[in-house]
Structure 1
Amino acid sequence: MLSGKRGKAGAIKVCTTEAALNTFAKQFLDKDFQGEQVRFIILAEKIEIDHEYYISITYDTEKKIPFLLFCEEGGVDIEEVKAKDPQKILRVDINPLFGPSQKDLAKIFPKEPNFCDFALRLWDVFWKYDLRLCEVNPLARSSGKLIAVDAKVILDDSGLVRHKNIEVFQKGAISAIPTQRELAAKKIDAEDYRGSAGSTFIEFEGDIAILASGGGASLLVMDALLAFGAKPANYTEYSGNPPREKVEKLAEITLGREGLSGCLVAGAYANFTDIFETLGGFADGLLKIKPKPNYPIVIRRGGPRQEEAYIMLEKFAKKEGFDFHLFGPDTPISVACQKMAELSKKYKDQK
């Protein structure tokens, strides 16, 4: 589970017999725990701990540098220590070009060389794998050795393209198990850095496919649809002038779902996104859906080459037999959403 405070919630248990392990597994496997479904149980050897410490490296977004935190009280929430005894938490700012210096580390660690060595190894991991956080809690001293008993790592999604050998355990929306479409959509950006298409993709239980553009406008699309009584089948967006083929892939993934009663392509007025190319990609993806969709498709876009794009779409819809409803930037997004809700209801009533 990708969540903290598991020990306090009873999700970490010392099992001395096979029977105890089986009971624990039956209690948690495939059950909901802290909003997630438990899919695996990790077995680890119990060690005798002489003392527990806390150590982490993360970023200071104000100073724009990484820093290291160390506390001689580990195994507990660092927030609790900060609230009660903030002076116990020691900090070292790190020069991102050179890494932590032995001189600075020696000021905060107990007079044992193992701690400095561990901190340098932690920095190597943090820097090598483009991490946003690398936290070890507790860092245990056992029989004179330092052992990372538990750890939390947050990777920078933007750096994953440089670490294709890492198998990231994908997490869906609201801690859910990601669907095949959600996983497929994320791969679009992973394989092509130009623009964004599908990096955010969340499936719902509705029946109207969504391809939105523009952060705030995308949320407006969802809110307006719900306000008019319609139910989105997904939330996804494309922006930053993605090439035609990326939008084609996203459209194919989005529209490949069964039971749809409509599709809404909508967004704010674009400044840099080529409307002709992106809507051309949507049309290409639409042609790949079998059987051919006969539900209404509402498109509300504005921006570079929008008029040219709509002429192309009108000819495309007439030739291929699609039910297109085109709205330009003069039409409010909410009006286009209302039209989508009305057309979707009419489509379902006629079936």
Structure 2
Amino acid sequence: HADTWGNPSDPIEFPAAFGQTMTEKEAYIRELDEKTGASLKLKVLNPVGRVWTMVAGGGASVIYTDTIVDLGFGEELGNYGEYSGNPSREYTEIYAQTIIDLITETPDIAGRSKYLIIGGGIANFTDVKATFTGIVSAIKNSVEKLKKAKVKIYVRRGGPNEKQGLELMKQVGEETGIPIEVYDRYTHMTRVVDLIKQAEEAGGV
């Protein structure tokens, strides 16, 4: 019915899948998702996983997840989710902060590195600079946590204002000392997963 379907003041509540309960963080992101015209999705798969993703676009998130599993990191995959529809800088920062809080909550018991993929295809209309400004703010708010959890960040993105957005990522890595590798549209989208595999084969520390 037009008066209830999509009405932000009286949204339809969809229950969690049978046999599943939402974590506090999942419920929080779902609440944000309902408030914005963009899309914010999060499912926690393994709270102590060492490979986490913050991916722009539902299609890209599927491709990244498949590649992570194909390369042998399925059991280490911490989450599944995506942000899309040109979310605001503020909403992107909150989404990024939530994922950073999750990946840093439990440092690896064996002292190994964790990996955060900030990935996506080549956007048509999502402003890469605006969304990355939000992500950079979350990184700056979490420097000590990220270092304690030994998080390495791999970035691959293309789209409107990508040059400025990617430069922001390079700068925050240089300023904070957090290892951040940045790649543009000319690097294959899932190349960063190969780089994680190489890092693991080199010792993962």
Query: Above 0.5 in TM-score?
Result: yes
Residues of 2 paired with 1:201 and 1:273: CA distance? 19
Q: Which amino acid aligns with 2:43?
A: I
Higher relative contact order (CA 8 A, sep 6+): 2
Match of 1:189 in 2: 33
Higher strand share: 1
1:243 corresponds, among 72, 84, 88, to 88
Match of 1:146 in 2: none
- Checking the alignment, whether the CA contact within 8 Å between 1:214 and 1:237 is kept in structure 2 is yes
Residues of 1 paired with 2:9 and 2:99: CA distance? 27
How far apart are residue 290 of structure 1 and its match?
A: 6.5
> Does the alignment pair 1:203 with 2:203?
no
How far apart are residue 169 of structure 1 and its match?
A: 6.9
1:185-242 per-residue CA deviation (whole Å, 9 max, x = no partner) reads 112222333x22x2x2111113222111122221000011111122321111111111
Match of 1:222 in 2: 65
Residues of 2 paired with 1:247 and 1:348: CA distance? 32
> Does the alignment pair 1:254 with 2:86?
no
**Aligned pairs (5 A) from 1:1-351:** 128-130=3-5, 158-159=6-7, 161-163=8-10, 168=13, 170-171=15-16, 175-193=19-37, 195-196=38-39, 198=40, 200-205=41-46, 206-230=49-73, 231-257=76-102, 258-259=105-106, 261-289=114-142, 291-294=144-147, 295-343=151-199, 345=200, 349-350=204-205
The residue matched to 1:163 in structure 2 has which SS? coil
Match of 1:9 in 2: none
How far apart are residue 347 of structure 1 and its match?
A: 8.9
Residues of 1 paired with 2:119 and 2:56: CA distance? 6
Q: TM-score, normalised by structure 1?
A: 0.50
1:38-61 per-residue CA deviation (whole Å, 9 max, x = no partner) reads xxxxxxxxxxxxxxxxxxxxxxxx
- Mark the CA change 1:208 to 1:275 in structure 2 (over 3 Å): closer, same or farther: same
The structure with the larger Rg is 1
Higher helix share: 2
Residues of 1 paired with 2:202 and 2:94: CA distance? 26
- Mark the CA change 1:171 to 1:348 in structure 2 (over 3 Å): closer, same or farther: farther
1:104-159 per-residue CA deviation (whole Å, 9 max, x = no partner) reads xxxxxxxxxxxxxxxxxxxxxx56543xxxxxxxxxxxxxxxxxxxxxxxxxxx33
Q: Which amino acid aligns with 2:54?
A: L
How far apart are residue 170 of structure 1 and its match?
A: 4.1
- Checking the alignment, whether the CA contact within 8 Å between 1:244 and 1:281 is kept in structure 2 is yes
- Checking the alignment, whether the CA contact within 8 Å between 1:269 and 1:302 is kept in structure 2 is yes
Q: Which amino acid aligns with 1:233?
A: G
Q: TM-score, normalised by structure 2?
A: 0.82
The residue matched to 2:65 in structure 1 has which SS? helix
- Checking the alignment, whether the CA contact within 8 Å between 1:275 and 1:303 is kept in structure 2 is yes
How far apart are residue 282 of structure 1 and its match?
A: 0.8
Residues of 2 paired with 1:281 and 1:178: CA distance? 25
Aligned identity (percent) is: 23
- Checking the alignment, whether the CA contact within 8 Å between 1:298 and 1:324 is kept in structure 2 is yes
Q: Which amino acid aligns with 2:96?
A: A
- Mark the CA change 1:324 to 1:289 in structure 2 (over 3 Å): closer, same or farther: same
**Alignment: residue pair count:** 190
Q: Which amino acid aligns with 2:83?
A: Y
Long gaps (5+) in structure 2: 108-113
- Mark the CA change 1:289 to 1:268 in structure 2 (over 3 Å): closer, same or farther: same
Match of 2:111 in 1: none
The CA RMSD measured in Å over matched residues stands at 2.3
- Checking the alignment, whether the CA contact within 8 Å between 1:211 and 1:236 is kept in structure 2 is yes
1:227-280 per-residue CA deviation (whole Å, 9 max, x = no partner) reads 112232111111111111111000111110123611001111101011111111
How far apart are residue 348 of structure 1 and its match?
A: 7.0
